[in-house]
Amino acid sequence: MKSISLKVTIWSVAALAISLAVFLLIGANVIGKSTTENFTHANQQLFRYALTVYHADGKEGLARYMQELNQPGETHYSICNASGHDLESGEDHSELIKVSVGKERPYRGEHNQLTMGLRSDEGNYIWLATSIGPSTILFTPFYVLLLVTVVALYWLVTMYITRPVRQLAGVVDRFGAGELTARATPRSNDEIGNLGRSFNAMAERIETLLMTERQLLQDVSHELRSPLARLTFEAEMVRKTTDRDVTATRLRHEIERLSDLVETLIDMARAEGEPGAVEMERVCLNDLLTLTVEDCDVDAQGAGCRIDVSSEPETIVQGNAELIRRAVENVVRNAIRYSPRGRSVEVSLKSDGDTASITVRDFGPGIPDSLTQRIFDPFFRADASRDGRTGGLGLGLAIARRAVRVHGGDITVKNAIPGAMLTISFPLQGATH
């Protein structure tokens, strides 16, 4: 079956039918036993009184008494001798006596007739009471009405339950067909509502990944176009120029730019990979920060600025030295890129409780408050230009944040007026994989 509503309804009706059968079985045993006891007690009273009349007034008195009992109705009474013959009519009831006398429950004969047989204490007389028992057919209309009512109620309930499932299925189909903005509209807090919200979260993530992939293709194609064109030009110049050393230097510079671009993309892919595969060790942040700043100092001199460093006594964290170095380097180089000439980039290392913090501040144009969180998104640039100084793929801070989060830390940013301040924090005790 493809319909959940039909499945739930069928199983519900089946459960109801089983419950009804058990109820009837229990009712037949309990209520039937109670009715049999009452019926037996009443017939014992009638039997004793009939014997009293018979001994006092003979057959004529007995006939009058039995005539009064056997009024048109559902029960017929008879009193027989030990051989099974009716004392009033002489009719032989021996076969009926065999199947009814001494039994725990009345004997059910043809046409749903119930017969109870009682024997006197002396055993000389037998009392027979025959009545038409209740037929289950009489209750059939009520059972049918009950089943129809339950089916209708269960169908309404299952329709109410499955309607949001069908709506969610439609949204999933639209999303699968390429409508990336399709979202569910959960209105409840039950499992189906949670499923809708989980789908929305998944859809948001998929849409972001697909948009990022498209942006990646656009950015890579744009970034590769210029260096490849320059490489082609420089290669042509190698054949024509007489000063081949200068041309070779330019050619090597363009190749290095391409290598840096490829390395950046590879780092981005690694950061998106499985963090659990990263090897951790004891890392001294003081030494790592000193080496990183030394590597970035050449860029700072080329940009006309300087790097001022301050740090506390030895600070140890558990982590991957290369990932931490790459994260700090990206943040520092980003600050150098936006730092005005003649100003400094301030880098400081502090520890507070269980957290070590590396703060990098520049005195550049700063970041609009509305963009402070987006600067960590891949390929996002607060400055959309792509000139040689502030351009780029916009991957550096995204890689840095992922590298820091592998260690259980995070990167935050705020405007320092002037400039921007980025803070990298690491837990001092252990690491989160």
pLDDT top residue among 395 and 409: 409
The encoded tokens of residue 214 equal 């498209």
* Percentage of residues of the chain with pLDDT beyond 70: 76
The model's pLDDT over 343-390, given as tens digits with 9 standing for 90+, comes to: 889 999 998 888 999 999 998 888 877 777 777 776 666 554 434 444
The encoded tokens of residue 38 equal 């009452």
What mean pLDDT do residues 71-83 have?
84
Residue 223 pLDDT grade (very low, low, confident, very high; cuts 50, 70, 90): low
* Percentage of residues of the chain with pLDDT beyond 90: 8
Q: How far apart are CA 308 and CA 390, in angstroms?
A: 21
pLDDT the model gives residue 347: 92
Q: Which of 10-19, 49-58, 102-111, 114-123 has the lowest mean pLDDT?
A: 10-19
What mean pLDDT do residues 82-98 have?
88
Contact 319, 353 (CB under 8 A): no
Residue 71 pLDDT grade (very low, low, confident, very high; cuts 50, 70, 90): confident
pLDDT the model gives residue 153: 77
pLDDT the model gives residue 44: 87
What mean pLDDT do residues 205-226 have?
68
* Residue recorded with tokens 């013959």: 85
pLDDT the model gives residue 132: 65
- Residue 31 scores a pLDDT above 60: no
What mean pLDDT do residues 253-257 have?
74
- Residue 287 scores a pLDDT above 70: yes
- Residue 1 scores a pLDDT above 60: no
Residue 33 pLDDT grade (very low, low, confident, very high; cuts 50, 70, 90): low
pLDDT the model gives residue 164: 83
Q: Is 177 left (phi over 0), alpha (psi -120 to 50) or beta?
A: alpha
pLDDT the model gives residue 30: 46
Highest average pLDDT, of 105-114, 217-226, 277-286, 376-385, comes from 277-286
- Residue 425 scores a pLDDT above 90: yes
pLDDT the model gives residue 35: 55
pLDDT top residue among 24 and 86: 86
Q: Which of 78-92, 212-226, 292-306, 334-348 has the lowest mean pLDDT?
A: 212-226
pLDDT the model gives residue 433: 37
pLDDT top residue among 155 and 65: 65
The model's pLDDT over 120-156, given as tens digits with 9 standing for 90+, comes to: 888 889 999 888 655 555 566 777 777 778 778 777 7
pLDDT the model gives residue 189: 80
Residue 116 pLDDT grade (very low, low, confident, very high; cuts 50, 70, 90): confident
Contact 87, 59 (CB under 8 A): yes
What mean pLDDT do residues 170-196 have?
85
pLDDT the model gives residue 212: 66
The model's pLDDT over 303-326, given as tens digits with 9 standing for 90+, comes to: 889 899 888 778 888 888 888 888
Residue 254 pLDDT grade (very low, low, confident, very high; cuts 50, 70, 90): confident
Q: How far apart are CA 429 and CA 98, in angstroms?
A: 94
Contact 377, 404 (CB under 8 A): no
pLDDT the model gives residue 281: 85
pLDDT the model gives residue 430: 47
Q: At what angle do helices 140-176 and 191-240 cross, to 10 degrees?
A: 10
pLDDT top residue among 1 and 317: 317
What mean pLDDT do residues 227-236 have?
72
Q: Which of 101-110, 177-186, 349-358 has the lowest mean pLDDT?
A: 101-110
What mean pLDDT do residues 233-245 have?
72
Pairing of strands 306-311, 344-352: parallel
* Average model confidence (pLDDT) across the chain: 78
